[in-house]
Homo-oligomer: A and B are copies of this chain.
Amino acid sequence: MPPTTTAERHLRADARRNRDKILVAAEAAFRAQGLAVQMEDIARRADVGVGTLYRHFPTKEALVVELSTRRFGTCIAQAEKALESSDGWAAIESFVNTNAEQMSRDVGLRDTFTAAGKDDERCRGERRQLERRLADLLDRARDEGGLRPDVTAQDVQALMCGLSGAIASGGDWRRLARIILAGLRSPS
């Protein structure tokens, strides 16, 4: 559930409608074309003038941050869901595979991992929270002996960025995820 700020609650009916259309359109545009897509394109997809787009999001950065935050949120939720698995190593496999598959279908997600919101406090917060969840996953798997003992959450975060690049360059996510997971697995 997105944070319904005070500003959003008092929105006029048409404004509310347009805001929703913009978010849907931007989501689709980012997924298909990445964060570099033009504001004009997003407005066209939403069937709205660019002026309206800028009324709702004062800068492109603000729009990118809004949607990147949501993507990070999904990713964090996936990490938490994976944590429910009974087996520590299976949780990590599940997390990496799920994300790799999603990145293969979503340029915006790849861009989010590698580039989005480096200067935005909200995005940085999400990154930190993801790192914490990742650390939880790793701690458990390490305790159970499934994980190579020296792997850190930062390593895995960097590897997820790497995975996004590798997928973008035409690699098969299944094969790449398998290799990276094998690299993380404890050498038994």
Interface members, chain A 131-188 (any B CB < 8 Å): 148, 150-152, 154-155, 157-159, 161-172, 175-176, 178-184, 187
Determine whether the beta carbon of A151 is less than 8 Å from that of B168: no
Contact residues in B for A148 (Cβ distance below 8 Å): 179, 182
A114 interface residue per 8 A CB criterion: yes
* CB-nearest residue of chain B to A163: B162
* CB-nearest residue of chain B to A176: B158
Most B CB contacts (10 A, CB to CB) among A165, A168, A171, A176 go to A165
* CB-nearest residue of chain B to A180: B183
Given contacts A182-B187, A183-B182, A183-B183, contact A157 B176 (CB under 8 A): no
State how many residues of chain A have any CB contact under 8 Å with chain B.
Answer: 33
Determine whether the beta carbon of B183 is less than 8 Å from that of A155: no
Total identical chains: 2
Most B CB contacts (10 A, CB to CB) among A168, A169, A170, A175 go to A169
Determine whether the beta carbon of B165 is less than 8 Å from that of A179: no
Contact residues in B for A170 (Cβ distance below 8 Å): 154, 158
Determine whether the beta carbon of A179 is less than 8 Å from that of B169: no
State in angstroms the CA–CA spacing of A26 and B94 once bound together.
44
Given contacts A179-B180, A180-B180, A187-B182, contact A161 B171 (CB under 8 A): yes
Most B CB contacts (10 A, CB to CB) among A113, A114, A152, A179 go to A179
Q: Report A's interface with B, CB cutoff 8 A.
A: 113-114, 148, 150-152, 154-155, 157-159, 161-172, 175-176, 178-184, 187
Closest 3 CB pairs of A and B: A158-B171, A183-B183, A165-B165
